[in-house]
């Protein structure tokens, strides 16, 4: 799979249930496939809403892009 940005991954996770399931089961493998590295990868792996919001919620987000945090029903 070609290298993608973390923003691309976030968009795809919001629209692709199969990818979202794979990411929940093994986020590292999905990020490897998409070429997500460095700080983006660390922030995504942290799962910390404040870090995610701070890192990805900047002014460079595409128009209409926002981050939605949803609890895993099995873990609540």
Listed residue (18, 6, 12) closest to 61, CA to CA: 6
Residues 9/41, Cβ–Cβ less than 8 Å? no
What is the model's pLDDT at position 48? 81
Give the pTM: 0.67
Distance CA 12, CA 19 (A): 7
Distance CA 72, CA 64 (A): 24
pLDDT bracket for residue 2 (50, 70, 90): very low
Question: Would you list the domain boundaries of the chain?
Answer: 6-75
Q: 17-76: per-residue pLDDT in tens?
A: 999 999 999 999 999 999 999 999 998 888 887 787 778 765 555 555 555 555 555 554
Q: Which of the 8 DSSP states describes residue 63?
A: T
**Which has the higher per-residue pLDDT, 5 or 64?**
5
Q: Which of the 8 DSSP states describes residue 73?
A: G
Whether 9 has a pLDDT exceeding 80, the answer reads yes
């Amino acid at each position: 799979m070609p290298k993608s940005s973390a923003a691309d991954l976030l968009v795809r996770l919001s629209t692709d249930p199969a990818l979202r399931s794979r990411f929940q089961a093994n986020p590292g493998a999905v990020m490897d496939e998409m070429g997500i590295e460095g700080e983006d990868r660390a922030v995504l792996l942290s799962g910390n809403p404040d870090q995610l919001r701070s890192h990805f919620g900047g002014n460079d987000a595409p128009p209409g892009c926002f981050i939605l945090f949803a609890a895993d029903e099995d873990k609540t």
